[in-house]
Amino acid sequence: MVPVERYDVVVAGGGSAGLTGARAAARLGARVLLAEVNEPGGDCLWTGCVPSKALLHAAARGEDFGAAMAQVRRAVAAIAPHDSARALEAQGVAVVRGRARFTGPRTLEIEGGEEGIRRVRFRYALIATGSAPSLPPVPGLAGAGPLTSDTVWEPAEPPERLVVLGGGPIGCELGQAFARLGARVTVAEMADRLLPREEPAAGELLRERLEGEGVTVLTGFRAERVTAGEVHGAGGRVLPFGRLLVTTGRTANTSGLGLAAAGVAVTGRDGEVRVDSRLRTANRRIYAAGDVTGRSAFTHTAGAQAAAAVTHALLGLRRGPDLTAAPWVTFTDPEVARVGMSAAQAREKYGERARVRVLSHERVDRAVADGRTDGFATLVIGPGGRIVGATVVAPRAGETIAHLATAVRLRWTAGEYAKTVHPYPTYADGPWQAALEEVYASLASPGTRRATIALLALRRALHR
Ligand SMILES: Cc1cc2nc3c(=O)[nH]c(=O)nc-3n(C[C@H](O)[C@H](O)[C@H](O)COP(=O)(O)OP(=O)(O)OC[C@H]3O[C@@H](n4cnc5c(N)ncnc54)[C@H](O)[C@@H]3O)c2cc1C
Ligand SMILES: NC(=O)c1ccc[n+]([C@@H]2O[C@H](COP(=O)([O-])OP(=O)(O)OC[C@H]3O[C@@H](n4cnc5c(N)ncnc54)[C@H](O)[C@@H]3O)[C@@H](O)[C@H]2O)c1
């Protein structure tokens, strides 16, 4: 009979959410066990953020394919020790290699570790099992041996005639990187533009940039079937390919987790773990964070959710993460960075009370000096003049968006944002100038103008 071990917190999955959740629980003094089926690190480290950013960096430097792949391996190897079982154990987290499966509302089993099956009883559990690439139900697609973001890191040479199906963040980042590394790339997107969740101008600008680099971009392309070496789209469009890379979305990892035994509900549509605003599942002792919830698609938001979930479970503190002000970045060249609402979302929510300021980077001296005036900054302003969203498209836009995230979180007005003097010449000057324009526009309103003219006249009389 296998003895039952007892822990305050058991974490299933050692990716961005699980690592942060386990460390946070250990820091609070809890007995924590982390179960991970592979090496800890998750998608971000092994097949996601880290390799894709390393690949983009190597591609931007004009390295050859072999050198770029070596850079990918170096980056992963340099970061892996920080997420390793050994590092976690040193931080007070017990780690077991194996697959976790709930056997009841307060128990789970971990199978596959060196010690065979482990039986565990928990006070709280955190489901952090992430997501996996999903293939759309296109006849012939699975049989064509498509690459995904899980497997694209294997080729020794640039894939010849690469068709990337899906022009979201993964498709655009990898499509640009592989094109710069010498592959002939087509990106085929179902929507009418690339990055359809972002400001329309961002997708259009990226399209121009990619086409300028020799990538073929097809929008409004819905794949209907795949035959030997060809993707057939609606309207008779045919795309020949050497390799296919499918980047059309991801599915939550919930199968085989024993969720029914644990009383954890999943959403009907996509099978994600259903959570409330405190990240609690239908079983109040079990929380979930990260991609598996469908409410987070980024490493930083996964970590924020996991830390909030563990704090709530162990200390009862109601500190849900405020993801309305969590920024995100697509690391193409130029980068597309966003926080909060798009212009369209704000107009839908606030109607006439929404205002949008767009500043072309032709007016940002740093962009002029760099010869990179193709970008722009958008400030989305809601009721009371508050900044409710922003987009920056530029080199290193991800750095610029961080300050705007503070503005959105603290509900600053454009005037308050403009009070922080920004360094010159930087790309951060773009949103700052956009905020200043908003301030100048309010100064030009008839009421304010009358008041300043009256004050001027008074001061003239006093100081002749
Ligand atoms: C190509 C690509 C690029 C990306 N770039 C970025 C980026 O630049 N910035 C960004 O913020 N995000 C990026 N992302 C998204 C980011 O990687 C994910 O949002 C993040 O990894 C999600 O973290 P997670 O903890 O929810 O899941 P994961 O990191 O996937 O971790 C889940 C872990 O659970 C384990 N697991 C699954 N089932 C079980 C089980 N039953 N028992 C035990 N363990 C289990 C898995 O092995 C895995 O290690 C990118 C993703 C991809 C694919
Ligand atoms: N830099 C980052 O932070 C980063 C980078 C990569 C991925 N991610 C995250 O990972 C998640 C997954 O990314 P993704 O790009 O795979 O998914 P996604 O859902 O963001 O984009 C998939 C794209 O594929 C298109 N599509 C769907 N079915 C199609 C079909 N049959 N034919 C053609 N196009 C089709 C969609 O319209 C969409 O634009 C996202 O939520 C993303 O935010 C983040």
- Read off the pLDDT of residues 254-287 as tens digits, 9 standing for 90 and up: 999 999 999 999 997 779 999 999 999 999 999 9
Cis peptide leading into residue 425 (ω within 30°) = yes
Same fold, 4-40+84-133+251-315 and 328-446: no
By DSSP bridging, strand 185-188 and strand 99-104 are unpaired
| Ligand 1 center to 45 CA (angstroms) | 8
Structure tokens at 77: 């190897």
**Best CATH choice for the domain 328-446 from the list 3.40.50.300, 1.10.3720.10, 3.30.390.30, 1.10.10.10:** 3.30.390.30
Tokens 């850079």 belong to residue: 71
Structure tokens at 169: 């963040």
- The residue whose CA has the least distance to atom 52 of ligand 1 is 48
SS3 326: coil
| Ligand 2 center to 413 CA (angstroms) | 32
Q: Is the CB of 301 under 6 A from ligand 1?
A: no
Rounded to the nearest angstrom, the gap between the alpha carbon of residue 139 and the centroid of all alpha carbons in its chain is 30
Contact by Cβ (8 Å): 139, 244: no
Pocket test for ligand 1, best of 20, 37, 44, 117 (most atoms within 8 A of CB): 44
Measured from the Cα of 166, ligand 2's closest atom is: 24
| Ligand 2 center to 217 CA (angstroms) | 15
Query: Pocket residues for ligand 2 (CB within 6 Å)?
Result: 136, 165-171, 173, 188-191, 196, 221-223, 247-250, 297-298, 328-331
| Ligand 2 center to 157 CA (angstroms) | 25
Tokens 């003097």 belong to residue: 421
Round to whole Å and give the CA distance between 408 and 446.
28
Q: 63-84 burial, b for 16+ CB within 10 Å, e for fewer?
A: bebeebbebbeebbeebbeebb
Confidence at residue 65, expressed as pLDDT on a 0 to 100 scale: 94
Round to whole Å and give the CA distance between 309 and 286.
9
Pocket test for ligand 1, best of 10, 11, 16, 55 (most atoms within 8 A of CB): 16
* pTM assigned to the model: 0.96
Nearest partner of 379 among 335, 423, 430, 331, judged by Cα:
430
Count of other CB atoms within 10 angstroms of residue 397: 28
Measured from the Cα of 44, ligand 1's closest atom is: 17
Question: Which CATH superfamily includes the segment(s) 142-248?
Answer: FAD/NAD(P)-binding domain (3.50.50.60)
Rounded (10°) angle between helices 49-60 and 169-180: 40
Measured from the Cα of 171, ligand 2's closest atom is: 15
SS3 434: helix
Cα-Cα-Cα-Cα dihedral sign, residues 29, 100, 131, 294: negative
CATH number listed for the domain at residues 4-40+84-133+251-315? 3.50.50.60
Pocket test for ligand 2, best of 172, 194, 248, 270 (most atoms within 8 A of CB): 248
C-alpha distances (whole Å) from 203 to each of 57, 137, 177, 299 are 21, 26, 17, 23
**DSSP sequence for 88-148:** HHHTTEEEEESEEEEEETTEEEEEEETTEEEEEEEEEEEE---EEE-----TTTGGG--B-
- Phi/psi of residue 11, nearest 5 degrees: -110, 125
Confidence at residue 293, expressed as pLDDT on a 0 to 100 scale: 97
Residue 15 labelled as part of a binding site: no
Confidence at residue 209, expressed as pLDDT on a 0 to 100 scale: 98
Confidence at residue 368, expressed as pLDDT on a 0 to 100 scale: 98
SS3 47: coil
Round to whole Å and give the CA distance between 244 and 179.
14
Q: Which ligand is nearest to the CA of 220?
A: 2
Measured from the Cα of 16, ligand 1's closest atom is: 25
Residues of the chain with pLDDT under 70: 113
In terms of phi and psi (left: phi > 0; alpha: psi -120 to 50; beta: otherwise), the region of 114 is: alpha
153 Cβ partners below 8 Å, 6+ apart?
47, 51, 69, 72
Residue 233 labelled as part of a binding site: no
Residue 203 labelled as part of a binding site: no
Rounded to the nearest angstrom, the gap between the alpha carbon of residue 207 and the centroid of all alpha carbons in its chain is 20
In terms of phi and psi (left: phi > 0; alpha: psi -120 to 50; beta: otherwise), the region of 460 is: alpha
Residue 249 labelled as part of a binding site: yes
Q: Is the CB of 375 under 6 A from ligand 1?
A: no
- Percent helix, strand, coil in the chain, to 5, is 40, 25, 35
Q: Where are the domains of the chain?
A: 4-40+84-133+251-315, 142-248, 328-446
Beta-ladder partners of 338: 328, 391
Pocket test for ligand 1, best of 43, 97, 273 (most atoms within 8 A of CB): 43
- The residue whose CA has the least distance to atom 31 of ligand 1 is 15
Nearest partner of 148 among 64, 49, 48, judged by Cα:
48
Confidence at residue 1, expressed as pLDDT on a 0 to 100 scale: 73
| Ligand 2 center to 248 CA (angstroms) | 5
Nearest partner of 205 among 214, 195, 218, 220, judged by Cα:
195
- DSSP-assigned letter for residue 68: H
